[in-house]
Homo-oligomer: A and B are copies of this chain.
Amino acid sequence: MSDASLPAPTRTYSYLGPRGTFTERALAQVPEAVGQTWRPVQNLGEALDDVISGRSDAAMIAIENSIDGGVSVAQDALATVPGLRVIGEYLVPVSFDLVARRGTKLENIRVLNAHPVAYAQSRELLDVRLPGHGHIPAASNVAAAADLLETGHADAAVAPPGITDHYDLEVLLSDIGSNKNAVTRFLLVSTTRVIPARTGADKTSLIAELPGNESGALLTMLEQFSARGVNMSMIESRPVGDEMGRYRFIIDAEGHILDERMAEALLGLRRSLARLTFLGSYPAADRSAITVDPRFSDTVFLDAREWLRDILGADSRP
C-alpha cells in the first residue's frame, strides 16, 4: 500500500470567527492556507493559545486599524507571549453594510446592533438616515448580525459585506462607513523558527524595551535604524505596565533580517536596549520593493568586512 493513498497531513489556521469576518478574508489571501483546516475562534487570546499549544500551525490576527478587535491587545500579546513569529502580512479593505431580517423596512428600524468601532465609523450616515436610533454594542461585527436571528433585541445590524452569504439577512444600506479608504492590517503568526525567504519587499517586526525612560534612550534606539539607512514603517509605544512612564515600542522596519543593513541595525539595537524581541521578517503586504540607498547596500557592508579582514590578516577575529 503506497503512501499516496494516505490522506495528506493538513495544516490548521486559527482566525477570529465566525465565518464572514474580516479576519477570515485576510486568511483567504494566504495561498498555503487553501484547502487546509480553518479554525474559527472567539478572540485573540484563543487564537494565540492555539498556536502556542500546537493546536494550530498559525493564526491570523488583526494588528492595526482593527475593527474585529483591539490593536493594543494584539500588540501587547505579541510583546508578552513568548515564542511567536510573524510570517506574513495582509491588508483587508474595510467597509460596512446595514443589514436586517428579511422584510424589514428602513423606516421601522429603532435599535441597531453594532461593534463599537464599526458603529463609530458608520455613525455619520446612520444619524442622518436613522435619526434617534438606539445602539446595542456587539462583541464582533458578525455577532452583531447573527444576533438579529437569535434574540431579536435589535432591528438591524452594522455588518461586514458578504454577511448575507452566511446568514439569512438582507442588505438595506451598502458601504455606510465614513472612511472609504479604511483598511485593516493582519499578521499571520506562528511558532516556526524558519524565516520566510527574502523578497526585496520585506518587513521586520520588533519589540523594543528601552533601558530607562529618558529621552536619550529613545534617541539612541532610533539612531540604530537611521545610521544604517533602515526606515520604519510603524512605531507605536505601549506602556510596559509595571510602572507609569515605562514604554515598549512595537516597530515595523523596512527590510529583511538577511539584509546586511537590517542585521547590523538589529545588532546595534540588541547592544543598546534593555530587551529586544525579533518577531519576524516577512513579505510586506503591498509587495512594493524597498528602495535602498546605495550607501547601505549589501555590497557596502560586505566590502567593509572584507577590508577589515584584509587588515587583520592572520590576526583575524574568530
Contact = CB atoms under 8 A, between A and B. Distances in A.
Interface of A: 64-65, 72, 137, 139, 179, 181, 183, 185, 193-195, 213-216, 218-219, 222-223, 225-227, 230-237, 239, 241, 243-245, 247, 257-258, 260, 263, 266-268, 270-272, 278, 295-296, 300-301, 303-305, 307-308, 311-313, 315, 317
Nearest to A91: B244
B257 A272 contact: no
Contacts of A230: 215
A181 B243 contact: yes
Contacts of A179: 241
10 contacts: A65-B244, A72-B72, A214-B231, A215-B230, A218-B232, A258-B317, A260-B317, A263-B317, A267-B305, A268-B304
A257 B315 CA distance: 10
Contacts of A305: 267
Given A219-B222, A234-B245, A304 B227 contact: no
A306 to B, nearest CB: 10
A160 to B, nearest CB: 19
A244 B312 contact: no
Given A185-B244, A225-B215, A307 B239 contact: no
Contact of A271 (B219, B270, B304): B304
B223 A270 contact: no
Q: Which of A214, A271, A305 has the largest number of chain B CB atoms within 10 A?
A: A271
Nearest to A232: B215
A313 B193 contact: yes
Contact of A267 (B213, B218, B235, B304): B304
Contact of A235 (B237, B243, B317): B237
Nearest to A230: B215
B311 A257 contact: yes
A185 B245 CA distance: 11
A194 B313 CA distance: 8
Contacts of A181: 243
B215 A304 contact: no
Given A213-B233, A227-B223, A244-B64, A295 B271 contact: yes
